[in-house]
Amino acid sequence: MRNLLLIGDRNYSSWSLRAWLVFEHFGIDHEIRRVHLDSPEFVAELAPFAPARTVPLLRLPGGALVYDTLAIAETLAERYSDLALWPAEPAARARARSIVAEMHAGFGALRDACPMNLRRSYVGFAPSEAVGRDLARIETLWDYAGFGGEGWLFGAYSIADAYFAPIATRIASYDLPVGPAAAAYVARQLADPAFRRWRAIGLVEPSCHVDCDLDLPERAWPGPAPLAARAVEGAPPLNILCPFSGQPVVPEALAEIEGAVVGFCNTGCRDKVVADPEAWPAAMALLPARATG
83-90 — which CB contacts under 8 Å span 24+ positions?
83/26, 83/27, 83/28, 84/156, 84/158, 85/22, 85/26, 85/158, 85/159, 86/158, 86/159, 87/154, 87/155, 87/156, 87/158, 87/160
Contacts of residue 157, defined as CB under 8 A and 6 or more positions apart, other chains included, come to 25
Q: How far is CA 232 from the centre of its chain?
A: 27
Q: Which among 188, 199, 162 has a CA at the least distance from the CA of 180?
A: 188
Per-residue pLDDT at 292: 47
From residue 88, give the alpha-carbon distance in Å to each of 47, 53, 93, 159: 38, 33, 6, 12
Q: Is the dihedral of CA 37, 35, 62, 164 positive or negative?
A: negative
Per-residue pLDDT at 148: 63
Per-residue pLDDT at 36: 84
Per-residue pLDDT at 41: 83
Distance CA 98, CA 145 (A): 10
Per-residue pLDDT at 289: 72
Per-residue pLDDT of the chain (293 residues; tens, 9 = 90+): 899 999 999 999 999 999 999 999 999 999 999 998 877 788 889 999 999 988 999 999 999 999 999 999 999 999 999 999 999 999 999 999 999 999 999 999 999 999 999 999 999 999 999 999 999 999 999 999 987 656 899 999 999 999 999 999 999 999 999 999 999 999 999 999 999 999 999 999 887 665 778 999 999 999 999 999 999 999 999 999 999 999 999 999 999 999 999 999 999 999 999 999 999 999 999 998 765 44
Distance CA 75, CA 62 (A): 13
Q: Which among 222, 225, 231 has a CA at the least distance from the CA of 267?
A: 231
- Checking DSSP bridges between strand 4-7 and strand 65-66, what pairing results, if any? unpaired
Domains and CATH numbers, the chain: 4-83 (3.40.30.10), 90-196 (1.20.1050.10), 229-291 (no CATH)
